[in-house]
Amino acid sequence: MLAFLAFFVLLPGARSQFTERERSAEWEGLAFGGRFLDRFLPIPPVGELTADTWGADAVRPRYVDNGVEDGEWSYWGGNALSGTDGKYHLFVCRWREDSPKGHMQWPQSLVVHAVAGNPQGPYQVKETIGPGHNPEVFRLKDGRYVIYVIDGRYVADDLNGPWTYGKFEFDPRDRPIIEGLSNLSFAQREDGSFIMVCRGGGIWFSEDGLSPYYQVSQKSVYPPVEGRFEDPVLWRTGSQYHLIVNDWYGRIAYYLRSPNGVDWKADAGEAYLPGITRYTDGVREDWFKYERLKVLQDSLGRPMQAFFAVIDTLKKEDKPSDRHSSKNLTIPLVTGRQIEILNKNRIAPGTQEIRLRIKAEQGFDPQRNIDLRSLRFGSPEEVDFGRGSKIKSFKSEGKDLILTFHGKNNALSDSSFMAKLLGRTSGGTLLFGYARLHGIDYQPPILSARAPRITVSGSKKVSVAVEVQNFGQTISEKSSVEVRILREGARLGSFKMHLEELEPFQKEVLETAGNLDLEKGENYNAEIVITPRTSGAAVFSAQVRAE
């Protein structure tokens, strides 16, 4: 990381668009691979190295065939999918470089479809889809493709179109929309439903990816640190969700993980920083800003390639027909390995031994390609700092490798939802993987309430109605629902109801009545507490007006 930081070059006026963020002192103790930043690989040279192109001195000479760029257009955002034709299809937006407003012409950008024979590029534009900015393409369970753009979306049966424009429908469900509905990112869940994160860190769910998106979160899931957050990117691998969000002024990104898409944990260290574009032959490109990260995933959902929008100067300094511009650039990522815990019981701090399978796959032989002495296993919060359980023994099983770790120092607790393996390959490169833990429900019901409706019908006669919906992927269990009425922090009374089982996305309106001294037309605070029989409570707070 220090090598990246040392490579920064400050352009005139640059400090007006970024702020140095204070890092946690704890981060200094991170081991190699503890940061997501460590997963960015040196890039194999792409095409010819040339200085005869646009750009500040810090990005010339460069390999212009990385990603997509040309002198006629400025490119921004976008991600790629692997097609059934064996090619990679990138959907990116662009506007003419000689536009009167320069980079600030971006609100009039067009989405284009570009194709390459490998993830790195070069990508050749083959068609224009239509107006739109900050595209993200994803595939629905029924096989159709969707390109999200700010304030709209395109849908097609095939990556080659034709594309039909339309609008998403969003239902905030009595919750504040956090910083507006722009720069959205999507991930498909195991059952084909979708989770979405908006720019401000609100979490939304849709039954099929096109049907209405419903907001479930009441506040941002981003880490509680100073920053102007945007550019979230969301994906799922196996049993956990991943989220990276960028601090626009701080030019530092944060990496979070979740077992269910609702409860998030931020990992230590930077997710990415300027200075990460370096090639295997030693060439470096110091782009001023990296934004709109998207990832290309393999067949198991693992990110294998990062796509960035990069610019060589301040956005407002990118004028029409000048030497500055922007492009879409790609960087390969270290692929996480497939690992499986073989213990029959859940691992606890007192577990004596931990048995682990590392699966062989194309291009990776765990019996030959691992520096066994470097391995640590256990809680990510321990392993990322070079701690955790150490290896005790190993053996081959078919093409796989079975490892036995001493259980000591695994630090896995009731709050852990994934275990992590961290170390190096026999060649000294990064090796990591995550493993499911026994006893964790990775597809839980997600019960969520709207604000209640309170009706005053007479002297102390009050009726309450509240809608509860299940946004999980499994049937919910029977639950109790309590609506607490408060004013100025004092509880005035409560109403209790019973909720039967709900199928995924099924909803039910519960109603009850009782005596409570409330004034019609007055505002009250309400707490809706949903308590399933065998799991923790979900609480939603809202201000309501008695009718």
- Say yes or no: 6 and 114 in one domain: yes
Query: Does residue 442 form part of some domain?
Result: no
- Say yes or no: 147 and 254 in one domain: yes
Q: What DSSP character marks residue 238?
A: T
Q: Which of 332, 366, 387 is the last residue of a domain?
A: 332
- Say yes or no: 321 and 345 in one domain: no
- Indicate the pTM of the whole model: 0.94
User: How far apart are the two ends of the chain, measured CA to CA in Å?
Assistant: 59
Q: Rounded to the nearest 5 degrees, what angle is found at the Cα of 393, between the Cα atoms of 391 and 397?
A: 120
What domain range is 68 assigned to?
2-332
Query: Does residue 159 form part of some domain?
Result: yes
> Tell me, what's the pLDDT at 14?
44
- Say yes or no: 484 and 360 in one domain: no
Helices (H) and strands (E) in the chain, counts: 2, 39
Question: What is the tally of structural domains in the chain?
Answer: 3
CATH number of the domain that residue 516 is part of: 2.60.40.10
The closest alpha carbon to 9, from 72, 48, 59, 63, belongs to 59
- Say yes or no: 140 and 210 in one domain: yes
> Is 371 in contact with 346 (CB distance < 8 Å)?
no
> Tell me, what's the pLDDT at 227?
78
Q: Which of 332, 347, 362 is the last residue of a domain?
A: 332
Low-confidence ranges of the chain (pLDDT < 70): 1-18
CATH number of the domain that residue 113 is part of: 2.115.10.20
> Tell me, what's the pLDDT at 22?
80
Cα separation, 455 vs 420, in Å, equals 52
> Tell me, what's the pLDDT at 228?
85
> Tell me, what's the pLDDT at 13?
44
Task: Give the pair of three-digit tokens for residue 387.
Answer: 């701690």
Cα separation, 237 vs 435, in Å, equals 11
- Say yes or no: 431 and 456 in one domain: no
- Say yes or no: 216 and 353 in one domain: no
> Is 95 in contact with 134 (CB distance < 8 Å)?
no
CA dihedral 319, 323, 326, 327 (to 10 degrees): 150
> Tell me, what's the pLDDT at 5?
39
Cα separation, 325 vs 59, in Å, equals 11
Q: What DSSP character marks residue 517?
A: -
> Is 437 in contact with 419 (CB distance < 8 Å)?
yes
The closest alpha carbon to 447, from 533, 319, 367, belongs to 533
Cα separation, 288 vs 280, in Å, equals 21
Instruction: Give me the sheet containing 490-499, strands edge to edge.
Output: 490-499, 479-487, 523-532, 538-545
Query: Does residue 441 form part of some domain?
Result: no
Q: Rounded to the nearest 5 degrees, what angle is found at the Cα of 529, between the Cα atoms of 524 and 530?
A: 145
Cα separation, 144 vs 161, in Å, equals 10
Cα separation, 396 vs 404, in Å, equals 12
Residue type, 293: L
Query: Does residue 32 form part of some domain?
Result: yes
Residue range 439-454, pLDDT digits in tens: 999 999 999 999 999 9
**Residue 342 φ/ψ, nearest 5 degrees:** -100, -10
> Tell me, what's the pLDDT at 18?
64
Q: DSSP 3-state assignment of 2? A: helix
> Tell me, what's the pLDDT at 17?
56
> Is 75 in contact with 328 (CB distance < 8 Å)?
yes
- Say yes or no: 115 and 260 in one domain: yes
**Residue 3 φ/ψ, nearest 5 degrees:** -65, -40
- Say yes or no: 70 and 107 in one domain: yes
Query: Does residue 83 form part of some domain?
Result: yes
**Residue 474 φ/ψ, nearest 5 degrees:** -130, 165
- Say yes or no: 224 and 348 in one domain: no
- Say yes or no: 404 and 321 in one domain: no
Query: Does residue 224 form part of some domain?
Result: yes
67: left (phi > 0), else alpha (psi -120 to 50), else beta? Answer: left
- Say yes or no: 366 and 405 in one domain: yes
Cα separation, 440 vs 444, in Å, equals 9
Q: Which of 436, 464, 496 is the last residue of a domain?
A: 436
Q: Provide the 10 A C-beta neighbour count for residue 316.
A: 13
Measured over the CA atoms of residue 443, residue 188, residue 253 and residue 66, the dihedral's sign is: positive
Cα separation, 379 vs 412, in Å, equals 5
> Tell me, what's the pLDDT at 11?
42
Query: Does residue 264 form part of some domain?
Result: yes
> Is 376 in contact with 386 (CB distance < 8 Å)?
yes
Query: Does residue 220 form part of some domain?
Result: yes
Residue range 538-547, pLDDT digits in tens: 999 999 999 9
> Tell me, what's the pLDDT at 239?
84
Question: Within 13 A of 73's CA, how many CA atoms are on the CB side?
Answer: 19
